[in-house]
């Protein structure tokens, strides 16, 4: 199930997506018939799943997948390559739930 595509195409709300992820976690942890990897089941790549694990919203990750990941640290302006890891998604604006990436350890 490509959860991010469904969110981006507005076929699935982020709240419903969270419920699906919770259901998938139950399957992953308890169901002997579910032998897959949760990340693969959700069709998320390592970077997307890492951002999700760090607390980034699914809406934001879906947007990044289809519109491009941030290329600069939202705190320092330093160039950032999400494929090199060492980053952390942070909420820039809580009201609009806008996220950016910052290099771990930056001030």
pLDDT at 29: 62
- Identify the domain containing residue 72 by its residue range: 3-103
Q: How many domains does the chain have?
A: 1
What is the tens place of the pLDDT at every residue in 31-85? 555 556 778 878 899 999 999 999 999 999 999 999 999 999 999 999 999 999 9
What residues have CB less than 8 Å from 76, skipping those under 6 apart?
102, 103, 106, 107
Q: Are 3 and 12 in contact (CB under 8 A)?
A: yes
Q: What is the pLDDT of residue 57?
A: 92
As a residue count, the chain comes to 107
Q: What gap in Å lies between CA 100 and CA 77, rounded to an integer? A: 11
Sign of the alpha-carbon torsion through 56, 99, 13, 63? negative
Q: Residue 80 burial (CB < 10 Å; 0-12/13-18/19+)?
A: buried
Q: What region does 86 belong to: left with phi over 0, alpha with psi -120 to 50, or beta?
A: left
């Amino acid at each position: 199930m490509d959860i991010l595509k469904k969110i981006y195409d507005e076929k699935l709300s982020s709240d419903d997506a969270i419920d699906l992820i919770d259901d998938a976690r139950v399957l992953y942890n308890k169901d002997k018939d579910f032998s897959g990897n949760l990340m693969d089941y959700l069709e998320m790549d390592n970077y997307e799943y890492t951002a999700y694990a760090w607390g980034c919203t699914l809406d934001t990750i879906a947007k990044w997948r289809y519109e491009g990941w941030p290329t600069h640290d939202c705190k320092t302006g330093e160039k950032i390559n999400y494929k090199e890891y060492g980053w952390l998604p942070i909420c820039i604006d809580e009201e609009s739930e806008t996220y950016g990436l910052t290099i771990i350890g930056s001030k």
